[in-house]
Chains A and B, each alone.
Chain A
Amino acid sequence: MLRGIAALLFFQLLGESLVFLTKLPVPGPVVGLVLLFAALQLARGRGRDSAPAIEAAAGALLGNLGLFFVPAGVGVVALWGVVQSEGAAIAIVLVISAVLTLAVTVWTFLAVRRLLGRKAGEA
């Protein structure tokens, strides 16, 4: 567990450092995610599965993912004025954007899958 946490923090540190040095407009933890994924693949390429060492820590964190956004969420009390004055517009954008995103994502996925399926059928 402790090793897993240390590994996750280490890759976050790598990510943050890389972002700081290169001024990439991407959050450090995302770069850390990509680096950890690459490291796991690399280790597998050499015949080693390093995931179990991190799995317990990763599972504990991902199983309680929601908890970690509570502190920031409480901060919305401090910006109640903004939310109130633009509340109706915010609600409309939230709902329409969610419907549009769901729709185009599922249609694109299905269209490409069908296209590939047909080709595979012909071959």
Chain B
Amino acid sequence: MRSPVDLWVYLSTSPLIWLTLTLCTWIGASEISRRLDRNPLANPVLTSILFLSLVMTIFDIPYERFFEGAQFVHFLLGPATVAIAVPLFRQWARVKRLLLPIAAALMVGSLMAVLSVVALGSLLGLSDEVMISFLPKSATAGVAMAISASLGGNPSLTAVLVILTGIIGALIVTPFMNLMQIRDYAARGFAVGLTSHGIGTARAYEVDETAGLFAGIAMALNAVATAAVVPIAAAWLIR
């Protein structure tokens, strides 16, 4: 009979345990978020990352070993990005009707999301690696990480900045828009989807159906726009 310690040594080196733990953590975190009425502070992405990081630290598991299991989940970022084409196709009729406001807001918004980081980051003296990883933070994670990696940024840092941007946008959008007395829910939703991708879109759906729809459209469009804007900004930065 082998001891439980042997079992732990055996399991901790296989991808199975880390894949299982990642999925179970996500299910638990989603349940907590649901019970707390989707409070942005209980964002399941944030709580999952914090919990798994804690486990890795306590048991002294190297990230590479954890990733051997978690990579199967990570891989799905690619097809999930492609999948955005489906809601965009479904809502194309509504997009076409407001094509000009959408196109103008997309252009101005995606430029501001990137250029504000360049301006503030230079002012505050962010290092090049952090700055490059920072630029695509308003795009959905899969796209942002791919952009960051292709430009020599750090995809892990980008993932965290993307998530934090999502949570910040989801937290401030409602008080901000009410303060500005903006009651056009298409415009409100579009702004939060562009700024805070999926996390902002989830928030918009809680507030108003139309806001959610336009947030989803903004997220899809800004994924493409950010992929076009960031390489230009980065080339100018590294120059």
A interface vs B, CB < 8 Å? 5, 8-9, 11-12, 15, 25-30, 32-34, 36-37, 40-41, 51, 54-55, 57-59, 61-62, 64-79, 82-83, 86, 89-90, 92-106, 108-113, 116
Given A67-B73, A68-B141, A101-B195, CB of A94 within 8 Å of CB of B108 = no
The 6 closest A-B pairs by CB, nearest first: A75-B156, A27-B146, A105-B109, A71-B70, A29-B81, A58-B83
Give the secondary structure class of B's interface: helix
Give the secondary structure class of A's interface: helix
B interface vs A, CB < 8 Å? 22-23, 25-26, 43-45, 48-49, 52-53, 56-57, 63, 66-67, 70-71, 73-74, 76-90, 92, 98, 100-102, 104-105, 108-109, 112-113, 116-117, 120-121, 124-127, 129-130, 134, 137-138, 140-143, 145-147, 150, 154-165, 168-169, 172-173, 176-177, 180, 182, 184, 186-188, 190-192, 194-196, 198-199, 218, 220, 223-224, 227-228, 231
What is the CB-to-nearest-CB distance from A30 to chain B, in angstroms, rounded to a whole number? 5
Given A29-B146, A30-B143, CB of A113 within 8 Å of CB of B177 = no
What is the CB-to-nearest-CB distance from B198 to chain A, in angstroms, rounded to a whole number? 5
From B77, B138, B161, contact of A68 by CB (8 A): B77
Cα–Cα distance between A102 and B215 once the two chains are bound (Å) = 12
Cα–Cα distance between A57 and B85 once the two chains are bound (Å) = 12
What is the CB-to-nearest-CB distance from A56 to chain B, in angstroms, rounded to a whole number? 10
Q: Is the CB of A92 within 8 A of B156?
A: no
Residues of chain B with a CB closer than 8 A to A70's CB: 22, 25-26, 45, 48-49, 52, 70, 73
Residues of chain A with a CB closer than 8 A to B52's CB: 70, 74
Residues of chain A with a CB closer than 8 A to B104's CB: 108-109, 111-112
Cα–Cα distance between A97 and B172 once the two chains are bound (Å) = 12
**What are 18 A-B contacts defined by CB distance under 8 Å?**
A29-B143, A32-B78, A61-B76, A62-B84, A68-B142, A69-B77, A69-B145, A69-B162, A70-B70, A73-B48, A73-B156, A94-B164, A101-B109, A102-B169, A105-B109, A105-B218, A108-B109, A109-B101
Q: Is the CB of B126 within 8 A of A66?
A: no
Q: Is the CB of B126 within 8 A of A74?
A: no
Given A68-B74, A90-B161, A97-B116, CB of A33 within 8 Å of CB of B81 = yes
What is the CB-to-nearest-CB distance from B81 to chain A, in angstroms, rounded to a whole number? 4
Q: Is the CB of B73 within 8 A of A68?
A: yes
Cα–Cα distance between A109 and B53 once the two chains are bound (Å) = 40
From A41, A58, A73, A105, contact of B108 by CB (8 A): A105
Cα–Cα distance between A112 and B79 once the two chains are bound (Å) = 34
From B23, B74, B120, B187, contact of A97 by CB (8 A): B120
What is the CB-to-nearest-CB distance from A101 to chain B, in angstroms, rounded to a whole number? 4
Closest residue of chain B to A11 (Cβ to Cβ) is: B82
Residues of chain B with a CB closer than 8 A to A40's CB: 85-86, 89
Closest residue of chain A to B62 (Cβ to Cβ) is: A78
Q: Is the CB of A30 within 8 A of B71?
A: no
What is the CB-to-nearest-CB distance from A34 to chain B, in angstroms, rounded to a whole number? 7
Cα–Cα distance between A93 and B131 once the two chains are bound (Å) = 10
Q: Is the CB of A94 within 8 A of B88?
A: no
Cα–Cα distance between A85 and B36 once the two chains are bound (Å) = 33
